[in-house]
Structure 1
């Protein structure tokens, strides 16, 4: 089924589908050095009822993605990954994806969103903090390369 045309110049956020796999993998390898999501994992997440993969596009170009997990019986969603293409940074892509992820969590009746972010990723920390996320603890050695993660959470109701 053809997609609806995007408004020119605006960042458009939509649910990812299998057609996006190549672009998602390319973005993943451009943005992250470790803890990469594989093609099989993306495929599973795209088809899963307990995960949501959203993409941000502009004039047909994929500029960012977000992966959110929903656990049965939990009132908290988990923002697993948020990626913004280097050339799209500072253009509101991350904020648009975060807003859409929060809205999806609210629609699923989640009361909160939790996430981990690399302790060295100051830009992401600023994004989360300006969107109302509170920093919690530190998870030492969280990432594959041994880097620490900071925990953040936000009430959605």
Structure 2
């Protein structure tokens, strides 16, 4: 049997259980709830994409467009640990940039845990620069690095 290439598509409400599974394994106590994901998928101003491989969701990105600004925020991005090292984060960053162009965004912003060096490397490779620190941003008290990319 041939393996199918993972592909990116818009998220649907039916994807929430799989998204929650990825969220829990990646973020533990900092994870979002089922209700938060339902809002992000259906009602928020932005976009929510998942990466699907055969019948399994393996990664996602949630993007929010800031009302009254031209900023697109990477609200959450995660790749299931079993599927890391396959450039899925890079593909989601490329999708994020496409959405930013589509929305005519001036900047893309995000926060990342200061200890998450793989993610920081990915963001810097994609043109993001650290512009500040948000102290005690995460549940465990650790700081977030605020990063942005000008379009």
Instruction: Give the alignment's TM-score, normalised by structure 2.
Output: 0.94
Counterpart Cα distance in 1 of 2:145 and 2:36: 24
1:8 offset after TM fit, Å?
4.9
Q: How does 1:41-60 map to 2 (within 5 A)?
A: 41-60=36-55
Partner of 2:104: 109
**What do residues 112-152 of structure 1 show as CA deviations (whole Å, max 9, x unaligned)?**
10000000000000100111111111111011221100111
**What do residues 83-118 of structure 1 show as CA deviations (whole Å, max 9, x unaligned)?**
001011110111111111221121011111000000
Partner of 1:19: 14
List runs of 5+ in structure 2 lacking aligned partners: none
The CA RMSD measured in Å over matched residues stands at 1.4
Partner of 1:4: none
Partner of 1:151: 146
Q: How many equivalent residue pairs?
A: 150
List runs of 5+ in structure 1 lacking aligned partners: 1-6
**What do residues 16-63 of structure 1 show as CA deviations (whole Å, max 9, x unaligned)?**
001101100111111112221110011011112413211011122211
Q: Which runs of 4+ in 1 moved over 6 A?
A: none
Partner of 1:95: 90
SS at match of 1:28: helix
Q: Given that residues 18 and 46 in structure 1 are in contact (C-alpha distance below 8 angstroms), is that contact kept between their aligned partners in structure 2?
A: yes
